[in-house]
Structure 1
Amino acid sequence: MSLPGVIPAASWPRLSSLALWFLMNRVCWICLNNLRRRKEMERPMRHNEEEHPQGSCQQDQKKLNRIRCWLLDMDGTITLGEQLLPGAELFFQALNQADYVFLTNNSSRRAMDYVQRMNRLGIPITRRQMLTSTDALILYLRQLSAGSELRLFPVGTPEFEAELAEAGFQLIHQRDQAIDFVVIGFDTSLTYEKLDIACDYLRRETRWLAANPDLVCPMPDDRVLPDCGSIIAFLTACTGRRPERVIGKPDTAMIDMILADRGLDRDVVAMVGDRIYTDLAVAQRAGITGVAVLSGESDWSDIKNSGIIPEYVFPSIRELADRLRQAD
């Protein structure tokens, strides 16, 4: 499906490497410039309690106490790079037997890599407590396949490809092949050749899916990496098409998987995260409790202006831990 007013992709000449280079750099510049301006807006008010009073919005302590399963974003919420954010350990100590599951849109690593990472950082979790956007993408592809073997052109890391292959999908890396889907992940091994071939397939109306909409991945020292959403923006700019579904947050696929697996009601589940357009949006869409922490991408003014108002807002995971310990 093409966007309204866009010249049909089939009539476009194939993009040269120079054109691919220019478009990718332009997309990354726009994404990084937007994030830089957002960070500049955040700094003056990040620690201003009048701007984001602790636990603001609907301060219903009883509702917070009823939560039996905490769904946790990782980057910017619990971790930053390879470190725990301050107060993360206190949060897990305060859970009082409640279950918790990490939900990450980051498809660049295997799920077990994240399990091992959290264990190294002192947070004990099992594979069942880690759900990635790749997991949700695989489940969705299986639903679409109806038992047949799907042929995929992947744009992702070797780890992303390995999980797709282990799930039984056939991976195609050459152009001009019969494939069912182009699938896009957060690709830290991205090459122009991958983008060029993906553009060729998409211009032929090949169906495509993406793992997540995040434009950037936060890193220490105020750095970011171009994420899956930036690759989506690039391919859309090249082809005039958008993926038919982006599986990660704010899509509710991962929430639905957890509710079904654990037999939970929505009113005892909470999503904790730092991003308005993924973490808080998925909580609103899924009908579960939304808890924002201002330790990552969003600040209080962003939340107030977004139209997505969570039940709780805390400066960081430390203050959420303090609130939970008050209930003991």
Structure 2
Amino acid sequence: MKNYQAYLIDLDGTLYKGDEHIDGASQFISYLNQHKIPHLYVTNNSTKDPEEVATKLNKMGLVARADEVVTSALATAEYIAEESPGASVYMLGGSGLKHALTDKGLVVKEDEFVDYVVIGLDEAVTYEKLSTATLGVRNGAKFISTNQDVSIPKERGFLPGNGAITSVVTVSTGVQPIFIGKPEPIIMRKALEILGLERSEVAMVGDLYDTDIMSGINVNIDTIHVQTGVTTKEELELKPVPPTYTFKDLNDVIKELQS
């Protein structure tokens, strides 16, 4: 396997599942840190601030900094702020999304009379929240979703993801949102911009083909699939464009890098 100058790394299903550490994750990050290889954690999870993500990783023995975290919330806020500075937003989601939006000078409101409706993963979603989002889109607000993941890996199993919540508003209004997170190029371009390297020097590491691997394919960088999350090795064989590499876990990636 090629030794890359930098890596973009998924979190859920690649480094951990919920609060469970995945074997090989801390060893891989330690290898990158010891060899001073730049890396960014690129996650579709919009519920947490980068500081919270870094804290979780550190508690699991994965030495990480907040400035190494690129969330779909950050990419969403930047996208809206560049397109319409100071715009008003109705959002579903956690504190990570709200902080990202307000930090970019956007105005978060609690009614349907807004410029944008943004859907992020909301573990306290209610019918009233979905109703307000639906009315906002029907009133002409631009419809944005942080990501299209229909399920997320947790300790209990695969639970409804942001894409599942987004689909309620989509079905009700007939309006398709603009998706920001993986596999869309928007979040990946942001991460590549931060690294400042040629695309041939960067690889995307992840478990889920439809988001992680396709996100790399969509911006023409190599991809490293690990069989620790959603997509199995057998399922990869049915995909029209395979990942550049696939490994059982990150321990095997380290062995390959050291060989």
Secondary structure in 2 aligned to 1:277? Answer: helix
2:68 is aligned with 1:153: no
8 A Cα contact 1:214 1:228, kept in partner: yes
Give the letter for the 1:183 counterpart: V
- 1:234 aligned residue: 168
Shift of 1:166: 2.5
Shift of 1:167: 2.1
Shift of 1:70: 0.9
Q: Please give the residue correspondences for 1:260-275 in structure 2 after superposition, counting only pairs within 5 Å.
A: 260-275=193-208
CA separation of 1:227 and 1:117: change in aligned 2, threshold 3 A: same
Separation in 1, partners of 2:171, 2:191: 34
* Structure 1, unaligned runs of 5 or more: 1-60
Q: CA RMSD in A?
A: 1.4
Query: 1:39-65: per-residue Cα shift (whole Å, max 9, x none)?
Result: xxxxxxxxxxxxxxxxxxxxxx3xx22
- 1:308 aligned residue: 241
Q: Which stretch shifts more, 271-280 or 304-313?
A: 304-313
Q: Please give the residue correspondences for 1:105-184 in structure 2 after superposition, counting only pairs within 5 Å.
A: 105-145=44-84, 148-175=85-112, 177=113, 179-184=114-119
Larger strand fraction of residues: 2
Give the letter for the 2:105 counterpart: G
- 1:217 aligned residue: 152
Separation in 2, partners of 1:89, 1:98: 15
Query: 1:154-208: per-residue Cα shift (whole Å, max 9, x none)?
Result: 1112332232122211111124x2x111011011121111001111122233211
Separation in 2, partners of 1:258, 1:109: 17
- 2:20 aligned residue: 83
8 A Cα contact 1:73 1:279, kept in partner: yes
Q: TM-score, normalised by structure 1?
A: 0.75
Give the letter for the 2:160 counterpart: P
Secondary structure in 2 aligned to 1:305? Answer: coil
Q: Which stretch shifts more, 200-209 or 100-109?
A: 200-209
Secondary structure in 2 aligned to 1:306? Answer: coil
Shift of 1:251: 1.0
Structure with more relative contact order (C-alpha pairs < 8 Å, separation 6 or more)? 1
Separation in 2, partners of 1:182, 1:132: 18
Say which of 267, 276, 291 aligns to 2:209: 276
Q: TM-score, normalised by structure 2?
A: 0.94
- 1:104 aligned residue: 43
Secondary structure in 1 aligned to 2:216? Answer: helix
Larger radius of gyration: 1
Shift of 1:262: 2.7
- 2:136 aligned residue: 201
Give the letter for the 2:50 counterpart: A
Give the letter for the 2:250 counterpart: I
* Structure 2, unaligned runs of 5 or more: none
